[in-house]
Amino acid sequence: MESTELTLRQIAQMASDNNGGAKGRELDRIAKGKGLTLSYTTVNKIIAGTYTSRPGLKTVEALASLAGVPLEQAYNAAGIEPPQASFAEQLPPEADTLTPEQRRVVIDLTRVFIKQNRVVHELRQEVVEHEDRSAPITRTGESPVSAKNHLKAVPNYREATEEELEHLAAFPGDPDIAHDEEPHGD
């Protein structure tokens, strides 16, 4: 097992190196030739260290394949949880008997969880990026210390209390509203 963690930038550079130094459109063509999806602008920004978005699964999978690294390592580098079995396949068969209102609540709650996971990921990235600077301020206007405290305040939804779940479910139709609330746990 490898002891050093690779960054997404290093994986993108390895993908380039493994393909004769190809970058941009050329690396995009190589990826397409292998049945992979890779945007040349995205890969150029990742290699240059100027990519600030969260890459899609297909981008991460293409880079892993082209770099010759395990998918799990590439997902880790991108800060993405590896895909699991389809959520729809994990629902009990009786889920099809839910009323339209109940389905809407399940869908809205799922959107809230997805949004919260993105926020936690972004905050963790900001903490890591600003860790070595003196008194840095994150994009959200917090110092990393307060960002770390915020991360601790975000509940683990697998172990969420009924009250926390009810709070999230109280924002039907617009999961962004729930995110704007102060996190519980004080």
pLDDT of residue 86: 84
Residue 77 Cα to chain centre, angstroms: 10
> What would the pLDDT profile of 122-169 be if each residue is shown by its tens digit?
787 777 667 645 444 555 554 455 444 444 444 555 566 666 666 655
Predicted confidence at residue 25, as pLDDT, reads: 92
Rounded to whole angstroms, how far apart are CA atoms 93 and 90? Answer: 9
Which distant-in-sequence residues (6+ apart) come within 8 Å of 37 by Cβ? 31, 58, 59, 61, 62
Quick one: CA torsion of 159, 162, 163, 165, rounded to 10 degrees? 70
* Those residues with Cβ within 8 angstroms of residue 114's Cβ, 6 or more apart along the chain or in another chain: 175
Closest by CA position to 24, among listed 36, 41, 12, 7: 41
CA dihedral 53, 75, 148, 155 (to 10 degrees): 110
* Contact between 87 and 32 (Cβ < 8 Å): no
Q: Residue 112 carries which side chain, given as an amino acid letter?
A: V
Helices (H) and strands (E) in the chain, counts: 10, 0
Give the pLDDT band of residue 85 (cuts 50, 70, 90): confident
The answer on pLDDT for 90 being more than 70 is yes
For residue 62, count other CB atoms closer than 10 A to its CB: 28
Site of tokens 């991460």: 60
* pTM value surpassing 0.75: no
CA distance 159 to 102: 21
pLDDT at 159: 61
**Residue 1 vs residue 117, higher pLDDT:** 117
